[in-house]
Amino acid sequence: MNLSLGQYALLGAAAVVLGLVAISRLRGVGPARAAELAGQAGTFVLDVRTPGEYAGGHLERAVLIPVQQLSNRLLELPADKKTPILVYCAVGGRSAAAAGLLKAKGYESVHDLSGGIRAWQSAGLPVVK
């Protein structure tokens, strides 16, 4: 089987994304732990969903940076890479990719909300609009 250069590039990119997702899953937290983290004054709460999803309800103090824009907006994150960051999306896929990117950029305390905001709401935890 002969693959073109473009196909090799696509396979390589897919491998990197899967690796980042796997790394970020190591630090996934459930809704109860996420609520503890979100309640701590020093935690940066990062919503990586779309503006429309954010408007429909989000965690208190959450900063919206859609996952597609994250790599270009890293300066909006805390300068101290030891600051705890709680990242979430709707169900966990986008936040896993975002958490992997943040880890790759040197952030040391990244926590991905497993199951996303849906798991948060299923646990009876509040959202704000």
Q: Which sequence spans correspond to the domains of the chain?
A: 28-122
What single string gives the DSSP state of each residue in 45-82? EEE-S-HHHHHT-B-TTPEE--GGGGGG-GGGS-SSTT
Token pair for 126: 């509040």
So what's the pLDDT on residue 102? 97
Query: pTM of the full predicted structure?
Result: 0.80
The contacts of residue 87 (CB under 8 Å, 6+ apart) are: 46, 48, 95, 98, 99, 102, 110, 111, 112, 113
109 phi/psi in degrees, rounded to 5: -130, 65
Architecture in CATH for domain 28-122: 3-Layer(aba) Sandwich (3.40)
So what's the pLDDT on residue 50? 98
One digit per residue, the tens of pLDDT, for the chain of length 129 reads 576 766 655 655 555 555 555 544 446 999 999 999 999 999 999 999 999 999 999 999 999 999 999 999 999 999 999 999 999 999 999 999 999 999 999 999 999 999 999 999 999 999 999
